[in-house]
Amino acid sequence: MILVNTDFITGKNLKTLALVNGWGMLTFGVNLQKAAQRANSELEIQAQQMNADAIINVRYSFGGGGTNCVLATGTAVKFV
């Protein structure tokens, strides 16, 4: 699965499918990178269920205040 933080993929025409979200908790002993990987995995699972080819506009938010999580959002797209 292709994940990019841009709104295009060079050389590809894209059809927007849906917004996808994923999150990873930052628990004791889990670093930020692993939490982001978990969030990415959730994005990919949702996109695969839609038969998407890629996820564009991937963005990350980091929560605090007792939640300590990484939220990833993006747009699932199909190559046309």
CA-nearest of 57, 58, 52, 67 to 22 is 58
**Could you report the per-residue pLDDT of 20-51, keeping only the tens digit for each?**
999 988 776 567 788 889 999 999 999 999 99
Average pLDDT of the chain is 90
pTM of the entire structure?
0.88
CA-nearest of 36, 39, 35, 76 to 54 is 76
Q: What is the mean pLDDT of residues 52-70?
A: 84
Q: What is the DSSP code (8-state) at residue 39?
A: H
Q: CB–CB of 1/54 below 8 Å?
A: yes
Residue 67 pLDDT: 59
Task: Read off the pLDDT band of 65 (50, 70, 90).
Answer: low
